[in-house]
Copies of this chain bind each other. A is one copy, B any other.
């Protein structure tokens, strides 16, 4: 073993990596429905123990019992370097929860099958985030097998609420600030584009998630009464249509007030990002984009444009056939992506004021579901070079540097509470159907990502405090 290169060890260990990923996929862990969370946390801890990490299931309350509030535990894992116990510490942030599987009828296999077909493993979480997690656990396992030690200290923080907006990670970070103490964070996900180039991302958008509920008559009533009774679905439609123009502009007063303009350096990085519009359009069946944007504008939008999105809409009768009712309620789920320096609570208050001014104040009574602040690690951070070199070697091609992902995560909390700059490393195929039916992971990329993680740990170990 000691004579083999780490890459050769990883190659010959892929069958174990796949088998462990299948175990993870086969254990449902849907945070939105609180399904299987504790079982999955225990499974993650077990796989990490097998890899050589010391693990703990952490909870928020003193009794070590999160059950009252149904808060999933955080799986914490640690390996201290024997040779260099005072070396720097690298923290891997991941999550074991997955998105709901609906619409379930569009899945070709059981969403929890973990079925391997050719170079793909199918199932909810195969990419997001169980696929990412397993490459990191295995990188540690294979390095420990080869050397019997690591060149630096490694920590894992694996949470169970990422898909519902990491609602308690900030509290976990504050409570376990010393346990989690580290110098840098490798973020939970990162994409590889369709040309096989890994994307290194330095930031994440923020999020404001709200529900608008319009209430009508006590119960659904016969629709002939629509001459007199106001239909809550109409009120919801009117409220929604006041929020956003056809070209995607958010019409709420002061919505863009704190949006930072790109610096010249940032703009250069954005312009250098390759983005295959044609490929992207084909993947998603789109003839054109919102507001007909093209070229560099699409890249700027992905990195830095705030959005107002309807994630869900329901009212009245939605079954087969023509039922003639006037519904008693109408619900919309909205997610707003935020960019630096927008603050979710400020934006929520602006939304609230907008609705009140337009006569829809009642729709947002209990509307604030979740907020997450946006964050960007500065371009000059030395971790960027280290990660870039590691990825270039593992993937055999120059990585792309992005100043921000278009997605959202609690990067702001990690970066500020731990004072540890965060970097996201390209690992998984960008069109893996994350959050959609038939999600899959590419086995070739699981292999390369594992090598990349091993490279990062080795390089990180050579940087002394």
Evaluate contact between B324 and A313: CB separation under 8 angstroms.
no
Query: Which of B223, B290, B333 sits near A227, CB closer than 8 Å?
Result: B290
Interface string of A259-280 (1 = CB under 8 A from B): 0000000000000000000001
Does A33 touch B at the CB level, under 8 Å? yes
Contact B224 A205 (CB under 8 A): yes
A99: chain B residues at CB < 8 Å are 323
With a CB–CB cut-off of 8 A, which chain B residues contact A145? none
Q: Is the CB of B406 within 8 A of A225?
A: yes
- Nearest B-chain residue to A128, judged by Cβ: B222
Known contacts A237-B240, A238-B246, A327-B311; is A321 also within 8 Å of B290 by CB? no
A389 at the A/B interface (Cβ < 8 Å)? Answer: no
Task: Report chain B residues within 8 Å CB of A433.
Answer: 219
A131 within 8 A of B: no
Q: Which of B219, B238, B310, B337 contacts A231 (CB 8 A)?
A: B310
**How many residues of chain A get a CB closer than 8 Å to chain B's CBs?**
88
Q: Which of A91-144 contact B (CB under 8 A)?
A: 99-100, 102-103, 106
Query: What does the 1/0 interface line of A310-346 toward B look like (CB < 8 Å)?
Result: 1111111111111111110011010101000000000
Report if A301 contacts B (CB, 8 A). yes
Residues from chain B with a CB closer than 8 A to the CB of A325 are 311-312, 435-436
Contact (A321, B284) CB under 8 Å given A219-B433, A302-B228, A435-B220? no
Given the known interface contacts A102-B319, A218-B284, A319-B102, the answer about A227 and B307 at a Cβ–Cβ threshold of 8 Å is yes
Chain A residues within 8 Å of B, Cβ to Cβ: 31-33, 99-100, 102-103, 106, 163-165, 205, 207, 209, 217-231, 233-234, 236-238, 240-241, 244, 246, 248, 280, 284-286, 289-290, 293, 298, 301-302, 305, 307-327, 330-331, 333, 335, 337, 369-370, 405-408, 433-438
